[in-house]
Amino acid sequence: MTENDPHAHDSAEGRQNPGAQPGTEGQAAWSQSPTPGTPPASGEQATQQTPGYPQQGDAYAAPNPWSAQGAQTGPVRYNPYPSAGGATQQQPYATPGTSVYNVPSNAPKKSGSGKLLASVAAIALVIGGVAGGTVGYLTGGSSGPSVNALDQPKPAQQTGNAPAGSVESVAQKLSPSVVELQVAGRTAAGEGSGFVLSTDGYILTNNHVVEVAANGGQIQAVFQDGKKAAAKIVGRDPTTDIAVVKVSGVSGLSPVELGRSDDLRVGQPVVAIGSPFELSGTVTSGIVSSLHRPVQASGDETDQATVMDAIQTDAAINPGNSGGPLANMNGQVIGINSAIYSPNGGQGGPSGQSQGGNVGIGFAIPIDQARRTADDIIKTGHATQTFIGAKVADAPQGGAQLGDITPGSPAEKAGLKSGDVVTKIDDRTIDSADTLIAAIRTRAPDEKVTFTLSGGRTVQVTLGGQPVPAN
């Protein structure tokens, strides 16, 4: 990577990127055979058949009417009680008036009560639940008066505040501060999310949400209460995918509370709020799935690479969530939702420019980095980019290999040479060029860090800073 343009880097051929885009169940078929009736007493209709006494010559070759072949014409018969020898099946649900149980000539005689029960059982097989209930009543007695849920009164209305630390409480706290951003440029239009930083109208979002309006486009902010206001870009940084816009003519704005991202832990619950697919005010929840995930996504129209040192989450993030807050359970913003993983898309564009959807892998910019960049933009009108002044590529044996060193750069001043392979920055392992880029960008200019090179040599580097041109 040229650290004067620290986003461009020479990736090793064949290296895979997480494929970020900024921005059936089977059926179980159950077959249940009804309980057979008692064989009929002597003198009953000869056409009735009794399970366990198949009539010779009966054939049951018709396929299941619910099978892939579809329904069959004519009566279809199954034997719900197959013999151990693989006897053919009979259908206990025959055409009304036709018995499906053959009666052998030597059928045993039953008493009068047996006739009653056999008749009741036969009715149950034909009319299902109604006769089944009749059997229950005749044999088990009454179950008491009927109870109907429709007759019950409504429960008391919910009162009081949402429990502290719940998703509900986070949504109540943050939702008034989250906005939908509708953006239109000369050649494109889209929408995303953002959140209020100040009562006088500063809003933090992603660069890729607003970049189409950078040169004469329009941005409209839509608030939770339905109020709308025009917004203008204050500054943006394509290298970190961060931008600040400002609205005017709106009062009573509620700024968010910013948290910190340097002490996050994997498994920690989080909440995402935004406008996926223009569904404003959508709240989802999940956990922090991973930390310090280097994610490369497309940058602005000059194809300047963007690499985030991302927070990975399984909270549902979709196109339109970009720029919205990722919060902890205290309702403090700890990241900016920016990218989603696309298993079929490979390296893709921002989530707001993609047709992909959530697969349980989303990425957010850590708020510590975003906070520093936003502060620079608001105070100076442009972002300050951290750099070392060297090209970088993946090393064949792992790590990040330095290429050309810019004269007078922090890398040259520290004594780094072309061909050096960086394996650690302080205590963080560097396994690729993207990891090195992401690790440098999370640091502030003038910060001192220790590079560990392959072979064990260490070098202290004072990181540089350079302005990102405002546009």
Catalytic site residues? Answer: 208, 241, 322
Q: One-letter amino acid identity for 92?
A: P
With residue 218 as reference, give the H or E element that holds it.
strand 218-222
Main-chain dihedrals φ then ψ at residue 440, nearest 5 degrees:
-65, -40
Q: What is the distance in angstroms between the CA of the first residue and the CA of the last residue of the chain?
A: 23
Distance between CA 49 and CA 28 in Å, rounded? 31
The CA-based dihedral angle spanning residues 163, 164, 165, 168, taken in that order and rounded to the nearest 10 degrees: 50
Instruction: In the chain, count H helices and then E strands.
Output: 7, 22
For 52-109, the three-class secondary structure string (H helix, E strand, C coil) is CCCCCCCCCCCCCCCCCCCCCCCCCCCCCCCCCCCCCCCCCCCCCCCCCCCCCCCCCC
Instruction: Give strand ranges (E) for 266-352.
Output: 269-274, 282-297, 306-313, 325-327, 332-341
Distance between CA 417 and CA 412 in Å, rounded? 7
* Contact between 297 and 329 (Cβ < 8 Å): no
* CA 281 and chain centroid, separation: 16
467, two tokens:
């302005």
Q: Which residues contact 160 (CB under 8 A, 6 or more apart)?
A: none
What are the angstrom distances between the C-alpha of 65 and each of 9, 62, 71, 88? 63, 8, 4, 16
405, two tokens:
């060193």
Distance between CA 401 and CA 418 in Å, rounded? 8
How many beta carbons lie within 10 A of that of residue 44, not counting itself? 17
* Contact between 176 and 253 (Cβ < 8 Å): no
Distance between CA 70 and CA 67 in Å, rounded? 6
Closest CA to 419 of 408, 409, 429, 405: 405
